[in-house]
Amino acid sequence: MSNNGLLQQRGFDVSVVAFDLDGTLVDTLPDLHTATILTLNDLGYDPVSADVVRQHIGQGIEYLLLELFKDLGIQIEATDLNNIAQQFRAHYARHVCDDSELFPGIEHVLKTLQHRGLKMACLTNKSELFTGPILNKLGIRSYFQEVICGDTLEKRKPDPLPLRVLASRFGVDTRHVLMVGDSKTDTACARNAGAPVVCVPFGYRSGMALSDLDCDAILGVAEDLLNMIEKA
């Protein structure tokens, strides 16, 4: 973590707050776990725990499956991976928001930032097919003026392109876009784009310690974000 600390980050001139989805706004693990179990069952494999799935969330379905099979000691070909990913997507589409829920304090944060006139966006590596239903079912889509998904552009996080495009759409410099995330994917995207970034205490970090993330501040609870940009 950067030595700047939370108090000094209040000096940031923040015009836009960009939130990651999985692990930051929403705990999507339960439904991703369900889709994983159903996919493994289709293939004749035993189920895995939610903690195993947690380690590989945030970089797309193919990545999740590839790493999962590595954990299981199973080698699969690229063509097989594509077919398995399609099976996974079919299961996930049927269960995309059965048990997923907002993390504590998130709705209050979104309402308060909206009331203060802050512009907000959702910047996720999740595909558009699943992002929309989750945001809509949980009642938070209306908070975001922009939503950029993993398949919206030709590149996704940790590449800086999504954040740069987002800043351009709002007509601001990336220095004035605060990225809020939970993983190295989010912090790297922000750093690559020259944007400030803070991390939530919950989420999915592929085994990394929260303190090892290259961020400007770590929130103790979601509501800490309100104090950080109170005067922005």
pLDDT band at 12 (very low <50, low <70, confident <90, very high): low
**89-106 CB burial, b ≥16 within 10 A, e <16:** bebbeebbbeebebbebb
Mean pLDDT in the chain?
91
- Catalytic-residue membership of 20: yes
Dump pLDDT digits (tens) for 119-132: 999 999 999 999 99
User: Using CA atoms in the order 169, 170, 175, 180, what is the torsion angle rounded to 10 degrees?
Assistant: -90
What percentage of the chain carries pLDDT values higher than 70? 93
Dump pLDDT digits (tens) for 31-87: 999 999 999 999 999 999 999 999 999 888 999 999 999 999 998 888 899 999 999
Dump pLDDT digits (tens) for 144-157: 999 999 999 999 99
- pLDDT at residue 205 in the model: 79
Annotated catalytic residue within 13, 20, 71, 173: 20
- pLDDT at residue 178 in the model: 97
C-alpha span between 203 and 224 (Å, rounded)? 16
pLDDT band at 227 (very low <50, low <70, confident <90, very high): confident
- Asked whether residue 139 carries a pLDDT value surpassing 90, the answer given is yes
Q: What is the mean pLDDT of residues 134-138?
A: 98
Least confident of 6-15, 75-84, 187-196: 6-15
3-state secondary structure of 138: coil
- pLDDT at residue 208 in the model: 75
CATH architecture of 5-27+101-228: 3-Layer(aba) Sandwich (3.40)
Cβ atoms of 140 and 110 within 8 Å: the answer is yes
DSSP letter assigned to residue 75: -
- pLDDT at residue 210 in the model: 84
Cβ atoms of 111 and 98 within 8 Å: the answer is no
Question: Residue 229 contacts by C-beta under 8 Å, 6 or more apart in sequence?
Answer: 10, 12, 14, 17, 113, 118, 178
- pLDDT at residue 78 in the model: 81
CATH number 1.10.150.240 is the correct assignment for the domain at 29-95: yes
- pLDDT at residue 176 in the model: 95
C-alpha span between 91 and 71 (Å, rounded)? 21
Model-wide pTM > 0.85: yes
- pLDDT at residue 9 in the model: 47
Where are the chain's structural domains? Answer: 5-27+101-228, 29-95
Q: What is the mean pLDDT of residues 226-230?
A: 81
